[in-house]
Amino acid sequence: MNNSWTYNETDKKVGTQLSEFLPDRIFDIHAHIYRNSDLNSLEASGEKNEHAEFSVDMWKTHVTDFLNGVTPEGGLFFPFPTTKLDIEGANNYLLSQIKEEKLSRGLVVVSPDMDREKLAYLLKQPGIVGMKPYHVFSKETPTWESSLAGFLPDWQLELADAHGSIVMLHIVKSGSIADADNIKEIREMCTRYPGMKLILAHSARSFHAPHAAEGIKKLRGIENIWFDNSAICEPESLMVILKEFGPRKLM
């Protein structure tokens, strides 16, 4: 493929195979929308001049095409976090996009530098159900080895707890969910803030299945934790979650 917008015969074949066993009603639990003008970076899209944005309508069109005519009923949308992201602009775009979406919801991007009152205001907006922190906003370097506290401060967890909000958390560190400090921080935040709904993105970033086998079992017993399977293409990590947490915790 020449770029991320190409839809070829291989895509069509895979999409047809998927559509044969997918349910009639689908909700996308992990979907990014963005305007290139907010990204301030080429790292998210090489099509900066050709495509000024990726909207909810564009998401719906591309997913429907890929799934051979099966149209998702809605999605959980959030901006694409980049190092130089215009966070306010990206969140405003999100608000404008989900305003007309009856079954879709949104997560605002957050950074440790955000104003507390501003975040509290955003969490009260129609369709907004939580927040999306990301390691690129951490004060620790390299950010890819950041602690969770480095980009998700206690005051944001307090707001999530108070509002019953989702926190869509992409953990980092080379050991991912097998990292002992990651496990400790996750257990502590879920216990201290039981009103928060923690979603561990990418099956707790279990792109390497042995990490899932080692780490996810150590989270058993936590009630306010879920997993999404976005971008996880092999079954082993998903089987670990199903074994340790059951089907209602995997989205």
% of the chain residues with pLDDT over 90:
81
Maximum distance among all Cα pairs of the chain, rounded to whole angstroms? 50
pLDDT in tens, 19-31: 888 888 999 999 9
pLDDT at residue 210 is higher than 60: yes
Is 68 part of any domain? Answer: yes
Q: Assess if residue 56 is contained within a domain.
A: yes
CA dist., res. 154 & res. 160, Å (int): 10
Residues 137 and 167 in one domain: yes
For residue 7, being part of any structural domain is answered with no
Which of 59, 89, 105 is the last residue before a domain boundary?
Answer: 105
pLDDT tens digits for 32-81? 999 999 998 765 444 444 678 999 999 999 999 888 888 999 999 999 99
249 and 220 both lie in a single domain: yes
CB 76 within 8 A of CB 31: yes
Q: Which of 105, 133, 163 is the last residue of a domain?
A: 105
- pLDDT band of 178, cuts 50, 70, 90: very high
Q: pLDDT band at residue 96, thresholds of 50, 70 and 90?
A: very high
* pTM of the predicted protein model: 0.93
Query: Considering the domain boundaries, does residue 55 fall inside one?
Result: yes
Residues 149 and 58 in one domain: no
Minimal CA–CA distance to 94: which of 115, 110, 111?
A: 110
Find the angle CA(150)-CA(215)-CA(167) to the nearest 5 degrees: 45
Q: pLDDT tens-digit profile of 130-161?
A: 999 999 999 999 999 999 999 999 999 999 99
Q: What is the pLDDT of residue 18?
A: 85
- pLDDT number for residue 23: 87
For the chain, give the mean pLDDT: 93
- Cβ-count burial 168-193 (b if 16+ within 10 Å, e if not): bbbbbbebbbbbeebbebbeebbeeb
Q: Is residue 4 part of a domain?
A: no
Task: Tell me, yes or no, whether 251 and 183 share the same domain.
Answer: yes
Tell me: do 116 and 32 sit in the same domain. no
242 in the same domain as 174: yes
Long-range CB contacts for residues 152-158, cutoff 8 Å, separation at least 24: 152/110, 152/112, 152/189, 153/112, 155/116, 156/110, 156/112, 156/114, 156/119, 156/131, 157/189, 157/192, 157/193, 157/196, 158/193
Range of the domain at 43: 24-105
Instruction: Confirm if 137 and 112 have CB atoms less than 8 A apart.
Output: yes
Residues 126 and 84 occupy one common structural domain: no
- Give residue for tokens 């929308």: 33
